[in-house]
Structure 1
Amino acid sequence: MSRNLRLTLALVLGGALLVLAACAGRDQGAAPQTAAEPVRSADWIAALPEGPTRRQVVLGCTPCHQLGLPVAHRNTLEDWRVVVARMKKIDDDLDLALIPLDAEQLAQWLSKNARMPKQGFSVPVAQADIREYPAGPKKAFYHDMAVTAGRAWIADYFGNKLYGVNVESGAVETYDIPVNVAPGKPGGAHQIDITRDGMLWITFTKSEQVMRFDPGTKEFRVYNGFEKGGNVQYFVVDADRYMYQDAGGGVWMTHFAREILSRLDPKTGEITVYTTPRTEHVKEKGVHLYAAVADSQGRLWYTETHGNRLGVLDPKTGKASEFDMPEPWSGPKRLAIDKDDVLWIPELATGKISVYDTRAGKFIDRLTLPIPGDFPYGIRRNPYTGDLWITGSGSDSLYRLDPKTKKFTIYRLPRAGAYTRTVSFTENGDIWTNYASFPNFHTRGPSEPQGMDTGVVVRLRPK
């Protein structure tokens, strides 16, 4: 079902009227919009003065949510002090160390420089049929998603449940996840991905576990024994967007808080730890070894988001090397690799895509997203077309990038605050994602001034 329907949501915050657009199941015209464009998070960020402080604000806040409504609409120094103190407390409580800036200096800088634009940035958008599927409760956090076995899967970070949405009917299956935590405590479901045999895999940052879920038998296999306090983060993926498995069948993952990578033997459960140059030489959680991909030689290329580095581990030698990104505080995030072993690296804090040729050993290009102020969280390569899909996490958008022509196509998502982290693909051409803001209620529909009532999986069908 497709409805040519445009809805507006007017929110009054702090005495100012802000109009946000949201659409359900809409067709999107491929021409510049003539009506006043709603203000989005990217517009607010673009209005800040460029420099190290702005980049650190983006690096400190946008890994969890947009810097738009309701966070960014503040007028006084005291207002900003309250917001910064609250965010720093959450950062400390979750033990993430995302916000290293001095709280008072940051509040003063925001009070001086932060202004909400009157109108958003207008761009041509492409046509798509977009459908949303509810799954899971409102007070939850759904970091990631993947599609396999005719289901779009999301997991609740705090509630320790797995939800499978039937891609045809929207019917939802619910499974309790056997995490090793006390009742009521979060297991920390983080990345969800699949291996070539269709198995679903999940990392758990809090319970320090990895699990494999068989969509056929509905059974979990639990893997324990990972580095304590390491914060299991992301599986290493390949150019086809599957989890990378080496010649011995091993799967690999990064650890956010210890600057290490691990190899897991799925048959025996044996875990092997590999160190990097910063494993023993930086303050805990100071660098954030993040995502990783495997090239055709089996080398593992990884990003350090706050360390601002790109690294490579050669499993044959067990040695890793690293080098700086072209610009400071760029924030390399969730990268992709293509069939030519070229890396496509989203820079969270700059709105750019760095392109690195692993065979030549050099950066060969740097692209700028067409929406100023946007922060790309992740890139995924579509194995069926070769296109690269980028999350416009600050602009309520998804981008499709043709790697040959370097042309971007923009698809707007239906809701205000439509923060996304990844995409998944099906052979029929559908693109899948989910709204992944923490907190969940930052994403809003026209009838939801207090935020979404559920988790939401999104299917985008380009036209």
Structure 2
Amino acid sequence: MIHGFARALLGLFLPFILLIPGCSKPFVYPEDERSQAEPVRSADWIAVLPEGEIRRQVVLGCTPCHQIGPPVAYRKTLEEWREVIGRMKKIDDDLDLSLIRLDAEELAQWLAANAKLPKHGRYIATAKADIREYPVGVKTGFYHDMAVSAGRAWIADYFGNKLYGVDIDTGAVDSFDLPVNVAPGKPGGAHQIDTTRDGMIWITFTKAEQVIRFDPAKKEFKVYSGFEKGGNVQYFVMDADRYVYEDKDGGIWMTHFSRVMLSRLDPKTGEIKKYRTAPHPRLTEKGVHLYAAVADSQGRLWFTETHGNRFGMLDPRTGEVTVKDMPEKWAGPKRLAIDKDDVLWIPELATGKITVYDTRADKIVDRLTLPIAGDFPYGIRRNRYTGDFWITGSGSDSLYRLNPKTKAITIYRLPRRGAYTRTVSFTDSGDIWTNYASFPNAHTQVPFDAGVVIRLRPQ
């Protein structure tokens, strides 16, 4: 029998025991009263899958769109898995994403054999916050990103081709038709939405192959076309202050999901230039998934390849390109950030780790593990006002705050199961902003027939 003091120690330390890297055994959950009261979340479900390359490929294939496991995507039998994988493969093919790389039957059999729902979730000590949810848009929409500008939080509907702005004080919502060049009823593919330092809102459109700038004061759009067809305009290069990067001549840069290249847009002339990065030794160009990018103090552009499992650098001045493998296979580097010392903070979607790479010293200086086993961090953002980093706990219904000096991580739990997030925005008041970004939207269990923007105010 475990006596009181020993039981207290176990209750304190067991929740923070993580899977040892390289170990093939699944995570074992502590059986204490606090854990037994916790609901099962996606991260809990993933944590009990056998660690290894198949598990990581499952995470890389499914979690770019939504959580897996509870609350709605959980399956038990082989036939159930065959049905859902077939449906997901069709969506993957229809949207031309090339996310699910494993053979469908092999994947169905592996999940049927290994996917087990834990009895309960895992207790985690979380920090207090005042959280407000803002319903905005339609429930059938898909809202990939959000940004705050001009006193409003903005989201754009991937399929519905609408831009929504919700007043952060009153909750009042304005909506605007997005002038994308697509056939009626077809998605423009609104993807990233972020701001430049002048408060202008910029949006990438993966399906319309366009970029749009929106002036929130004048309510005016400017559309930029002429990007490479089939390239999937994906992600703006960001700077250390979490703004869309503008080079010394005012150029805006973006990645292409289906190409190993970046493009530069001159907002004044509309001229677009393409810069190739590097082919992958094993994957087709479309399968590399060149995803996010940041600019360092020298104007060099650092990018991630989520399925290519590399990160790299393009120097626009010289055309030099270098690429580096991630520390583990199928780690899945995703939305990275950069700090004022040109250090990269790279979230690994499939491992739950953060690789810290010093670009000046040209070496990995740290590799941090998130405190919730099975979590998949989609993005990391630097708070320009405090220097802290905020990480999306996309599988644990959480946001993490990371102190870059002490490496201490604070956990804030969001109020919904299925609270899948991709980005974090900041205001000078100290508020933290995000949105529920699952596709389908209904995977997040909310009482609203709408999309949802969230304001988190740490207490």
* Alignment equivalent of 2:451, drawn from 446, 452, 455: 455
SS of structure 2 residue aligned to 1:39: coil
- Residue equivalent to 2:222: 221
Does the CA-based 8 Å contact 1:420-1:435 persist in structure 2? yes
- Residue equivalent to 2:18: none
- Residue equivalent to 2:333: 332
In the aligned structure 1, how far is the partner of 2:62 from the partner of 2:147? 25
- Residue equivalent to 2:13: none
SS of structure 2 residue aligned to 1:45: helix
In the aligned structure 1, how far is the partner of 2:79 from the partner of 2:266? 53
Tell me how large the CA RMSD over aligned residues is. Answer: 1.3
- Residue equivalent to 2:173: 172
Does the CA-based 8 Å contact 2:42-2:71 persist in structure 1? no
TM-score, structure 2 as length reference: 0.91
Please say if 1:55 is aligned against 2:56. yes
In the aligned structure 1, how far is the partner of 2:172 from the partner of 2:281? 48
Which aligned segments of 4 or more residues in structure 1 are displaced greater than 3 angstroms?
32-35, 279-282
Does the CA-based 8 Å contact 2:398-2:414 persist in structure 1? yes
Does the CA-based 8 Å contact 2:314-2:320 persist in structure 1? yes
SS of structure 1 residue aligned to 2:221: strand
In the aligned structure 2, how far is the partner of 1:275 from the partner of 1:421? 26
Unaligned 5+ runs, structure 2: 1-32
After superposition, residues 118-129 of structure 1 pair within 5 angstroms as 118-129=119-130
SS of structure 1 residue aligned to 2:273: strand
Matched letter for residue 133 of structure 2: E
- Residue equivalent to 1:68: 69
After superposition, residues 20-35 of structure 1 pair within 5 angstroms as none
- 1:167-217 residue CA offsets vs partner (Å, 9 max, x unmatched): 111100101100000111100000001000110000000000000000111
The structure with the greater share of residues assigned to helix is 2
- Residue equivalent to 1:285: 286
- Residue equivalent to 1:185: 186
- Identity over aligned residues, as a percent? 76
Does the CA-based 8 Å contact 1:71-1:83 persist in structure 2? no
In the aligned structure 1, how far is the partner of 2:299 from the partner of 2:320? 13
In the aligned structure 2, how far is the partner of 1:323 from the partner of 1:337? 17
Deviation at 1:329, TM superposition (A): 0.4
Does the CA-based 8 Å contact 1:260-1:279 persist in structure 2? no
Deviation at 1:259, TM superposition (A): 1.2
Does the CA-based 8 Å contact 2:45-2:70 persist in structure 1? no
In the aligned structure 2, how far is the partner of 1:152 from the partner of 1:247? 28
SS of structure 1 residue aligned to 2:286: coil
In the aligned structure 1, how far is the partner of 2:67 from the partner of 2:155? 20
After superposition, residues 76-95 of structure 1 pair within 5 angstroms as 76-95=77-96
Does the CA-based 8 Å contact 2:41-2:417 persist in structure 1? yes
Does the CA-based 8 Å contact 2:291-2:335 persist in structure 1? yes
Matched letter for residue 355 of structure 1: V
Does the CA-based 8 Å contact 2:252-2:265 persist in structure 1? yes
Deviation at 1:272, TM superposition (A): 0.5
Deviation at 1:323, TM superposition (A): 1.2
Please say if 1:155 is aligned against 2:156. yes
SS of structure 2 residue aligned to 1:198: coil
- Residue equivalent to 2:260: 259
Matched letter for residue 186 of structure 1: P
- Residue equivalent to 2:243: 242
Deviation at 1:69, TM superposition (A): 2.6
Does the CA-based 8 Å contact 2:164-2:176 persist in structure 1? yes
- Residue equivalent to 1:422: 423
